[in-house]
Structure formats: structure tokens, C-alpha cells
A and B are shown apart, each in its own frame.
Chain A
Amino acid sequence: MHKWLETLDKGVVCCGWNYCGQRLVAGYIDGFVSIHDSTDPISVPSLIQSFRWKASEDVISNVIWVPPEYGDAIACVCIDGTVSLWEEVRTDDEPLSWKLCLQLEASNVQVLDLQLGVSSTSLLKMIIAYSDGHVKIYEFLDPLDLKKAQLQAEFPNVIDSVSNIRKASCVSASIAWNPRRDEIQHSTFVLGFSADLPQFNSAKIWEFDEAHQRWLPVAELALPEDKGDKVQSLAWAPNIGRPYEIIAVATWKGIAIWHVNMSSDSSSGHNSSKKVALLSDHDSEVWQLEWDMSGMTLASTGGDGMVRLWQSNLNGVWHEQAAIDCGAVQH
């Protein structure tokens, strides 16, 4: 059962929904960004474009909503490596409009992925994955204003520090915050690359060590023989009470489902993880993985033009429950 909500203008490259699925942001090839709002304050009968502005001189490659505790704001990633944050504000002098809060200028490397999350200390954090296999983590110290971001850390996605010597060349990256909204839980995220150097690729869980104020790799989601596999996409399932976390990681071999026990053996800094399934129906690149709100259903999209929905049965066996055929895809 489907219902069409809105059409987007020509040249649209990327889009993103806000926390409640009522607002959509779309990024365009000509550097424009558009905001589309639901025509109803509660349900989403259809969308209507409310704002459109030029956010960049170059192609917008990704648009992400900032967590709602920071207002209605978006982060735009430009293909030239610029990251800009925009927020919707109304002042006494001006009507409601989108204003630039922050612009992180382009460096020599491309931005491959960006994710925003609220840390256990209620600070907004922004992780940016670059094409050299490194991530930068920024912290926004002012909860009322997104104008100032402080670089908290920068490191490559490798466990062995010797690998730092060489810089990788990556074509894609995927970051997922641990969605658990728990103050006891440390800030954790999982990161994987598609890089020319194998040690950068595998998905690794990074946890912030408050005592030493640094990020540590606490788990690697790859079997020994798969460690060099390029990660196409990954997603961390919401945990509504399971004793373990579930993370989906897509490589050319398929979508691996991992169970990760975050609390076990924390003294050694490593968590136990177990690959419980490998789902391989897409037969092409996996573009995106998304867990539903209960973490029971995984949706994936891929180069075969399908949206596939995966679930586990009562015996813990994962299978494809349904699929949505979106038609032919340009290769």
C-alpha cells in the first residue's frame, strides 16, 4: 500500500527526513537546497515545498537533519568538501528563514559521510568521514547556537596505529551513531570505508573513553577473512531492550547482521561480536541500510532497483520478508 507525497525538481541528488518524518530536505546538483513540509501538523497527507535557497556553488552531495533538540537545522555536504549548517529561525526583524550558522571550508579531501548525534553529556557531536580514511569529530558547546564547532578528535579508521603512516584513498564511507538514548551509555559509533587500503575498510565500533578523553576502537565487525572487504553501507539498530546491539554491515558479499554485546569484557576494551546472518539478495551494490523504530526490520536499497525488507524468524534466522520494486537503475 503506497501513497505519493511529493515530486522533487530536476537535478535532485540527495534527500533526508527529519526525526518525526514530517519534513524533508533535498539537495540539488546546482547547489540549491529545498525544504518540504507536511500539509498537516500531525499526519503526512502530502508535502509542500516551503523553502528553497542556494546553499553552495557546487553539487550538494548529502543533506542531514540536526537532532531536534537543537531546533530545525540541517547539515549540507558539498561535493567540494565544504560542510555547512543551516537553521530555520525567525527574528523580530525578519520573517522565518534559513540562515547559515556554520561553514567548514573545503580541504583537499572529500567529505564522504556526515552524521550528527547527541552525546551522553547532551552535547551535539558531528562526525565527518573524509576520503583519506580519517574522521573528524566536532563538538558544539553551545546548545542554543550552532555557530561554533570545536574539533574534538581526528583519527583514521584503523585499529593498528602503524597504519596511520599512509593515507588511504576512499570512495565511500558510512557512519552510524549508536541510537541508544541512554545517559549511562558512552558515545559510540560504527564506521566503515570503501578504501584502497584494506585496513581502513572494515566496520569498527569507536567508543569515547571519558577517562582519557579519546576515542577507542572497541569492536571490529568483520571475520578475519573479510577484514579487507569494502564497506558499502551500515546501520545500527535501535535497541528497545535487547541484551545485545544489532548492526547491519553491507559489503560486496552481502549484508551481514552482527550481534554486539556492548557491556561484556569492557576492561579489555573489546566487546564480543557475532555475525549471525549474511543476506545477499541485492546482487549489486547496497546503497543504504535503515532499521525501523523497533530494530526488528531492516530495509535495504541497492543497485538492483529494489528496496528489500529483512526480518528474523522465531529461530533467529534472517530472511527477506518483502520487497519493493522501484524499476530500472542507471549503471
Chain B
Amino acid sequence: MPGLLSPDGKESLVPFNLDLQKPSIHTLPHGLRPSLFRIHISWSRGNCLHVTCLRPPNEDGEGCGGKIAAVTLGGGEGGDLSDAQMRRVAYGSVPAFALLQSQKNVDIQLPRMVADTVRSQWWQHVLDYSNQIKALLGDAKYSPSSVIENPRTVLKPVGELTNLRAAWQLMEIFYADKHSLPWLPESLVDWLADYDSLISKVESTIHSKLTNLQKKLVNLQIVEDDPEYWEGISSALAVGWFDIVVKLLRLHGSYQLDQLDCRETENGLVETVAVLVSEMPRMRPNLSNGKLGQCYKSKSDFVKAWEKWRGHIAKLDCSAFWIQCANHQTRDGLKNMLQIMLGNINSITTYTCNWMELYISHFLYVRPLTAGFDGMLSLAQKCMDLKSISGSCVLTRLILGILGENTEVILAECSRTFGPWMVTHATELLTAENNEAELVLHGERYNLGGISIEELHRLVYAQILSSHTLTWQIAPTYLVSCPKQGLGFLEILLYKQPAHHYQMILKNLEICRLYELDSIGISVMKIAGMHHWKHGRKGFGIYWLQQAHDEVRLNRIANELFDCIGKSVSDDVFKQWEGLIELLGSEVGKAGGLEFLHKYRDFKRSIHLVQDKNSVDAAKSAVEFLMQLMKSPSTPQRFWLSLLHDSVKLLNWPIRPLLNVSQTNLLLNKLQELSMAKLHPGFCNTNLTSEATSSIRLALGANLGRAILEDC
């Protein structure tokens, strides 16, 4: 696909690292020794390149002369998804994409007043689209609550599919889900709860800490004596996984019935903290099942509740009960929790593992009312300074691109990590009521051949789809959404499909019909017609050429048949060709040869029906066809004698003469003409014997006599 880099990295819309400019080099281990003579290349469909390596042709030695490889270039990304998984996603996303495009087309046609209202609600269509795509990318694999509810359950490894989903959901939060914009920080809290495990592959995360704790809990008798227990609780609290925090707290030994009496104060403190945690005010409209906190939609209500809640925490922190708590681990653990809830930077920094967790912690306890991308970006940078992640994480880069409001960076990130599928589909999210992104993505660029970046990405994706026999059929959906170059691409794609396989041709033609690509449909039918004609399947050949209305070729075929029949006019030869004449039909032109063939066929059929003296109707129609043929200038002279010979039984009709005097005279004249023509050097003789000619002459004479008598 067209890259985003320029040689010096300055002109580029996307300021990438210069190292990335180096082309990736793929080695083709052909094993041809000692060296090559030539390399031949040929593009197949899509981005599949056929590479043929040839050895010097006159060189002796072992081995073959050349090897042919199919090299598929680019498009293999998709976040390390397997080909089959990517195909499933590709197929699944077609209906959602097509629906969104058709909604767009409907909106364009609406009156201006209505359109303005509809456009303001456009993001809801985009959100529906996003949800459909998200469903294809699988469920969020990790649910923190499951760690505790089923302590023995080993978490399933998080696959790459989730990484793609995490990126998609992130973009949905920022671009498509306009409902959640007022509570953006809370949306990020939820997002991290689902995808924390993906933030770092090498370093520990809160998710990995809790996974380890879960394994340990099974064997722990007195949980509160283990520092990891308190660390796990504090970490979960730092990122707002309150359900886990409360469940872990309730595993505290003071809750056991036999200990309640002697550890009453300690238990009271644990429970108070648990209640405070579960009643934390949240600036969001609602919480999903099992999640804890008090929801507030209004900022003022939230601030009041938040102050009150923090007042409770501060009061508890200064309480005298701590002195009565004998278990210092419990005391320290709970005190740490209070510090986290009070937004103590040192505490939240200690109990989070990376900048993203620290970032979320800030939203929860330090700056719950953060709004605006600028504020969020500066906070992110601050958190990154405090807790950077070793190694580069795609999700981190993506978040920074989003917060930096840099559309090109976001697209480049999506493209590099997840490939053209992601870019093509995510563009819809980026442009949902986002004027700046729309300007960047929809602006036509001369350098791209007059198309927009959005169209370019769709073309690139369609090219990837075109490379595979299982996916090329969905490429048209994306190509027709490209206003400038989509149909041109589709024409080439259809032309390059093999036109020998019947089902394949039907599929191609269906696409041609759907998108009104008549000329390419005609080419496909011509190719199929010629292939079958040349391969001896003449009927099939004629059928497709007829469908293509290829008069030139059909007339040429008619002439060929005409020549074949003319060479020998026996009934056997005629039968052989009759089917083809039938197929040629009467619609195709008025070429002489074809017209004659049809009349000749009709005459032959009538003659066959004349079995005895009772079939007088068939005999009369045979006479009619005979006269038409003999009068027609398109009937070649070489057929006259055989026509007359076939007509002997008509001339000798027992009851009464079927031909009148003038008709008989016409036939006699034709016979005379033939006798004269025999003297010409170019005369084409038929296989009829001289006895046959005599019998015709005799029959004509007899008929003439009877006809004269009849007239009298």
C-alpha cells in the first residue's frame, strides 16, 4: 500500500522514525545453483506477485532450470491473526460496512433541513456499526471479577484478537460513542479493566499481579498476613476494580466466625473500608452488573458527594480505632487504601505498574473531572514520565495519537499493526462528526490521483481481498464505496478472474449486473465464449457469444458452419450442426449465412415430417420453405442441387401437384443455371450422382405437366 513516509521524514504527514523507511527485504530461497540468469515477474490478482527465477539455460549440472513462486505482499498483518481468523472478520464486517454506506447514501439524498437533523444523529449509526464490528472481534476475554469468583480458574491466555478489539474499543470510546464523552475518564477505567493485560507483555501489570494472587489464595490460610494480599487489594483499588477489592477484603480472617469476637474492631475497620470503597461516587450514568460505586450524572451532585465521601475517608483516617487494631498488617494495608482513595500521588504511583494504570488512578482519585483532549494528553505525558513502559505498546501509541488529535498517526498505527482491514473500517469512526478528521480523510489529493485518503485505504484493502480466492468476492462492496476509482478497479479485478469455470462466470456477471459494468460483462462473456468454442464445446461457446451480443464472432461462426454444411449436405452432417444452428437463433444479425442456415433447417424439418401421402400440410410447408430458399439470394448455389434432390418427393406428390407452373419453372431455371455454371472453373460440385440429377429433371418435367393440366 502507499506508504506514509517521505525520504527525509519532514514532508511526511506522519513524523515517523527514519529507520522505518528501510524497505523490508524478503529472501526467496530458490536453491538454484550457482547463480541466476534472469528473474521474471508477473502480478497476479491483488497483491500476489509471481516470481520466476531462471538458471543460465546453457549450463550443465544437476537440478531444474527454474522455479516459480507466488509471493503475497503486505496485508498479512491484522495483529498476528491467522489467515482464517482474518477472513472471518473480513466477511463478518461486510454487512455492517455496507449498511453504513447505504445509510450515508440515504442521508445525502435527504432535504437540507432534514439532513442537518439526521447528520447530528449520525454518530448513532456509527455506534451501531462499531458495535457490530466489535462483536466480530470477540468478547473481552478478561473479566477481573472472575479472578476471585473462581479462584481455581486459570485465566485463558489473552489472544491477539483481543488486542485488535482493545484498539477498536478505544477508538469507539473517543470517536463513535458520543454518549460517553461526558464521562470519558470513566470509560477509560472500564477499558483498562478489560484490557490491562495487553498493556505490557514483558512487565507485570495489575492484572498479572492479581492472576498470581489468585493462584496463591487457594493455599493461603491467613490471607491478611501475606503482603501480596494487601498489595493486590491496593493495586485493584488504584485502578478502580472495586468489586475485586471488596471481595478480597471479605476474605480477611476477621470475618471468620471464630475470630469475630477477638477481632471486632479490626473487622469493623475492614468492613468500613469495604463500604467506603463500594460507595465511591462515580461521574457516570450507570454501572454494569456487579460493579460498585454511586453514579452521578450531574457535575455538582458528583462534586458534593465526592467531597462528602472524601470527608468520610479523612475522618476514618484520623479515627482512634486504628490504635485498637492489633493486626499491624491489616492496619497498614487499610491505611494504604485510604491514602489511595485520598489521591496520594506516592501511593497510587507505588501500587500501579505502568503509566496507563497510573493514568486511570489519576482519573479516579486525583482529577475525576478531567475533560478535553489537551488536559488528558498533558496528564498522560506526566504519567508516562513517572512510569514509562519498556518497549513500545501499540495501544499506548494509539492512545497518544488519539489524545494528540493526530488522524494520520492513528491511521498509521492502525495500518502498521492491524493492516488495511482496520484502517478501512476505523476510518468510519474517525470521521463520525469530526470535522478535522473529515477534512484530512475526505480531501481529494492530486498526488493520489485525485482521490481521498479514505478512498485510497479502501482501494488498498480491496486489493488485499482480491489476492485470495476466498475473499475477492467481498472486494466489490468496498470498491463501490470508492467514488473515483472503485469501479475502474473493479473492472480490472473482474477481467482478471478466470472465465472458464461456469459458476465463476455467473458470479462475475452477477457483479457486473449489480454495478452496471456492462462492458466488462461483455468481455467476460466473450472470453468464456471463445474459450469454449476453441476447446470444442461449441454450443457453450455460441451461448456465451450470444449473451455478449458479439455479432462479429457469431456471424463468423455462422459462416464457418455454412462452409461445413456446404462441403457435404448429407443428413448426417446436417444433424451434427442442427443444434448449433438452433443455438445461433434468429436474433443475431441478418448475415446471409445465418439467414440461410435457419431457412435450410426449417426446410429439412418439414421434409422429415413428410412421411406419406397423408402429411399434406407438412409437404405444403416444405414447398413454401423450398421456394423461399430458391428465391433468396443468400442461398449459395452449391446448395441448389441438394435442395432439389431433397424435393423430388414433393415433385412426385401422388394426389395432386404441390408446385404450380411458375414455381416449377423457377426450379427448372435454377437447374439450367447450374448446368451452365458447371462450365465455370470455380464451380463447387456436390456429391450427388448424375442419376440423381436425372431424377430431379424427370420429376420437374412430370410436375410441370401435371401443373399445366391442373391449371387447365
Interface residues of A (CB under 8 A from B): 1-17, 19-22, 24, 26, 28-29, 36, 41-44, 47, 59, 68-72, 87-92, 96, 122, 142-145, 181, 183, 238-244, 287-288, 290-294, 296-297, 299, 301, 305, 307-309, 311-317, 319-330
- The interface residues of chain A lying within 8 Å CB-to-CB of B445 are 314
| A9 to chain B: closest residue by CB | B65
CB-contact partner of B531 in A28, A72, A290, A316, under 8 A:
A72
Query: A11-B58, A321-B23 given. 18 additional CB < 8 A pairs?
Result: A10-B64, A12-B66, A15-B66, A16-B42, A20-B44, A20-B497, A24-B50, A29-B57, A41-B501, A69-B526, A71-B530, A243-B449, A292-B463, A296-B2, A297-B73, A309-B49, A311-B3, A319-B21
CB-contact partner of A71 in B453, B534, B556, under 8 A:
B534
| A69 to chain B: closest residue by CB | B526
| B22 to chain A: closest residue by CB | A320
The stretch that binds A, out of B165-173, B263-271, B487-495, is B487-495
Interface check B104, CB cutoff 8 A = no
CA A16 to CA B38, docked complex, whole Å: 13
CB-contact partner of B70 in A5, A287, A307, A326, under 8 A:
A5
21 contacts between A and B (CB under 8 A): A6-B67, A6-B68, A9-B65, A10-B63, A10-B64, A12-B65, A19-B496, A21-B496, A24-B68, A43-B469, A71-B531, A90-B536, A96-B535, A96-B536, A183-B519, A241-B489, A242-B485, A319-B6, A320-B23, A323-B24, A327-B36
Task: Knowing A68-B527, A313-B3, A330-B56 are in contact, say whether A41-B504 is a contact too (CB < 8 A).
Answer: yes
- The interface residues of chain A lying within 8 Å CB-to-CB of B63 are 10
Shortest distance between the CB of A308 and any CB in chain B (Å): 8
Interface residues on B, range: 35 or more
Shortest distance between the CB of B658 and any CB in chain A (Å): 37
CA A71 to CA B557, docked complex, whole Å: 14
The stretch that binds A, out of B7-15, B179-187, B191-199, B344-352, is B7-15
Task: Knowing A293-B43, A294-B459, A326-B39 are in contact, say whether A41-B74 is a contact too (CB < 8 A).
Answer: no
- Asked whether, in the complex, the Cβ of A328 is within 8 Å of the Cβ of B495, the reply is no
- Asked whether, in the complex, the Cβ of B23 is within 8 Å of the Cβ of A323, the reply is yes
- The interface residues of chain A lying within 8 Å CB-to-CB of B39 are 287-288, 301, 305, 307, 326, 329
Interface residues of B (CB under 8 A from A): 1-7, 11-13, 21, 23-28, 30, 32, 34-58, 63-74, 76, 445-451, 453, 456, 459-460, 463, 466, 469, 484-485, 487-489, 491-493, 495-501, 504, 519-520, 523, 526-527, 530-531, 533-536, 552-553, 556-557, 560
| A12 to chain B: closest residue by CB | B65
- Asked whether, in the complex, the Cβ of A70 is within 8 Å of the Cβ of B535, the reply is no
- The interface residues of chain B lying within 8 Å CB-to-CB of A305 are 36, 39
- The interface residues of chain B lying within 8 Å CB-to-CB of A42 are 469, 498, 501, 504
Task: Knowing A1-B72, A71-B531, A143-B552 are in contact, say whether A330-B493 is a contact too (CB < 8 A).
Answer: no
- Asked whether, in the complex, the Cβ of A241 is within 8 Å of the Cβ of B44, the reply is no
CA A139 to CA B673, docked complex, whole Å: 40
- The interface residues of chain B lying within 8 Å CB-to-CB of A301 are 38-41
- The interface residues of chain A lying within 8 Å CB-to-CB of B69 are 2-5
- The interface residues of chain A lying within 8 Å CB-to-CB of B50 are 5, 17, 21, 24
Task: Knowing A29-B57, A183-B519, A328-B35 are in contact, say whether A292-B43 is a contact too (CB < 8 A).
Answer: yes
- Asked whether, in the complex, the Cβ of A323 is within 8 Å of the Cβ of B498, the reply is no
- The interface residues of chain B lying within 8 Å CB-to-CB of A328 are 34-36
- The interface residues of chain B lying within 8 Å CB-to-CB of A324 are 25-28, 49, 51, 71
Task: Knowing A21-B50, A292-B463, A301-B40 are in contact, say whether A322-B57 is a contact too (CB < 8 A).
Answer: no
| A89 to chain B: closest residue by CB | B534
Going nearest first, the 6 A-B pairs with the smallest beta carbon separation are A316-B447, A240-B488, A21-B44, A90-B536, A242-B449, A241-B485
- Asked whether, in the complex, the Cβ of A21 is within 8 Å of the Cβ of B45, the reply is yes
CA A312 to CA B11, docked complex, whole Å: 13
- Asked whether, in the complex, the Cβ of A2 is within 8 Å of the Cβ of B71, the reply is yes
**Inter-chain CB contacts under 8 Å: number:** 311
| A95 to chain B: closest residue by CB | B536
- The interface residues of chain B lying within 8 Å CB-to-CB of A9 are 64-65
Task: Knowing A294-B463, A322-B73, A329-B36 are in contact, say whether A241-B488 is a contact too (CB < 8 A).
Answer: yes
- Asked whether, in the complex, the Cβ of A315 is within 8 Å of the Cβ of B54, the reply is no
CA A143 to CA B552, docked complex, whole Å: 8
Secondary structure class of chain B's binding surface, majority of residues: mixed
- Asked whether, in the complex, the Cβ of B48 is within 8 Å of the Cβ of A21, the reply is yes
CA A75 to CA B711, docked complex, whole Å: 68
- Asked whether, in the complex, the Cβ of B466 is within 8 Å of the Cβ of A293, the reply is yes
- Asked whether, in the complex, the Cβ of B64 is within 8 Å of the Cβ of A293, the reply is no
Shortest distance between the CB of B507 and any CB in chain A (Å): 10
- Asked whether, in the complex, the Cβ of A315 is within 8 Å of the Cβ of B447, the reply is yes
- The interface residues of chain B lying within 8 Å CB-to-CB of A6 are 67-68
- Asked whether, in the complex, the Cβ of A44 is within 8 Å of the Cβ of B73, the reply is no
- Asked whether, in the complex, the Cβ of A8 is within 8 Å of the Cβ of B42, the reply is no
- Asked whether, in the complex, the Cβ of A122 is within 8 Å of the Cβ of B552, the reply is yes
Shortest distance between the CB of A254 and any CB in chain B (Å): 14
- Asked whether, in the complex, the Cβ of B6 is within 8 Å of the Cβ of A87, the reply is no
Shortest distance between the CB of B558 and any CB in chain A (Å): 11
- Asked whether, in the complex, the Cβ of B553 is within 8 Å of the Cβ of A144, the reply is yes
CA A71 to CA B534, docked complex, whole Å: 7
Task: Knowing A2-B69, A8-B68, A317-B7 are in contact, say whether A87-B49 is a contact too (CB < 8 A).
Answer: no
CA A296 to CA B47, docked complex, whole Å: 10
CA A183 to CA B56, docked complex, whole Å: 43
- Asked whether, in the complex, the Cβ of B530 is within 8 Å of the Cβ of A69, the reply is yes
In this complex, the member of B13, B23, B39 whose beta carbon has the largest number of chain A beta carbons within 10 angstroms is: B39
- The interface residues of chain A lying within 8 Å CB-to-CB of B51 are 2, 307, 324, 326
CA A29 to CA B530, docked complex, whole Å: 31
Task: Knowing A16-B42, A183-B519 are in contact, say whether A292-B47 is a contact too (CB < 8 A).
Answer: yes
- Asked whether, in the complex, the Cβ of A307 is within 8 Å of the Cβ of B41, the reply is yes
CA A26 to CA B38, docked complex, whole Å: 13
- Asked whether, in the complex, the Cβ of A144 is within 8 Å of the Cβ of B556, the reply is yes
Shortest distance between the CB of A202 and any CB in chain B (Å): 24
CA A293 to CA B498, docked complex, whole Å: 15
- Asked whether, in the complex, the Cβ of B534 is within 8 Å of the Cβ of A319, the reply is no
- Asked whether, in the complex, the Cβ of B1 is within 8 Å of the Cβ of A311, the reply is yes
| B62 to chain A: closest residue by CB | A10
- Asked whether, in the complex, the Cβ of A47 is within 8 Å of the Cβ of B68, the reply is yes
- Asked whether, in the complex, the Cβ of A299 is within 8 Å of the Cβ of B24, the reply is no
- Asked whether, in the complex, the Cβ of A321 is within 8 Å of the Cβ of B3, the reply is yes
- Asked whether, in the complex, the Cβ of A68 is within 8 Å of the Cβ of B499, the reply is yes
- Asked whether, in the complex, the Cβ of A44 is within 8 Å of the Cβ of B70, the reply is yes
- Asked whether, in the complex, the Cβ of A315 is within 8 Å of the Cβ of B13, the reply is yes
- Asked whether, in the complex, the Cβ of A322 is within 8 Å of the Cβ of B26, the reply is yes
| B466 to chain A: closest residue by CB | A293
CA A144 to CA B67, docked complex, whole Å: 35
CA A25 to CA B198, docked complex, whole Å: 50
In this complex, the member of B13, B26, B67, B451 whose beta carbon has the largest number of chain A beta carbons within 10 angstroms is: B26
| A237 to chain B: closest residue by CB | B449
| B470 to chain A: closest residue by CB | A43
CA A145 to CA B559, docked complex, whole Å: 13
- Asked whether, in the complex, the Cβ of B489 is within 8 Å of the Cβ of A294, the reply is yes
Task: Knowing A1-B72, A301-B39, A326-B36 are in contact, say whether A319-B5 is a contact too (CB < 8 A).
Answer: yes
Shortest distance between the CB of A79 and any CB in chain B (Å): 11
- Asked whether, in the complex, the Cβ of B42 is within 8 Å of the Cβ of A293, the reply is no
CA A7 to CA B31, docked complex, whole Å: 11
- Asked whether, in the complex, the Cβ of A327 is within 8 Å of the Cβ of B35, the reply is yes
| A299 to chain B: closest residue by CB | B41
Shortest distance between the CB of A99 and any CB in chain B (Å): 10
